[in-house]
Structure 1
Amino acid sequence: MVLRRYLSPRLYVSYGVGLFERFNAFVLRYRLSTLWSLEARSGLQSGADLLYELESH
């Protein structure tokens, strides 16, 4: 099960819990600009990333 919510137009939070496995995950994403975001996560693997979004048409 995953709970997701935008706390502001730039701040996104997600929390997931495994129903059949022992698994918890927390993700926090902050949009720095239209192309750049900063994401931090914890769970089985923890880390942080600087993301660049490239859209193709």
Structure 2
Amino acid sequence: MLNSPIKANLDNNYKSLGMKFCNLSGSVLINTIFFTEFDLIFQSRFLIFSKIEITY
């Protein structure tokens, strides 16, 4: 993965949203599933965007 300040900042924002979501649910299992699926979705989108930037 590319390490950029923008990506790191977005990761932190999404993970804090995940934590808020998990605190409401109060479940470690949902925490794990949420982090894993969200990280995969975010990383795949980030890779697509980075490819578009390189192409242009």
Greater fraction strand: 1
What is the TM-score of this pair, normalised by structure 1?
Answer: 0.26
Greater fraction helix: 2
Q: Which has the higher contact order (CA 8 A, sep 6+)?
A: 2
What is the TM-score of this pair, normalised by structure 2?
Answer: 0.26
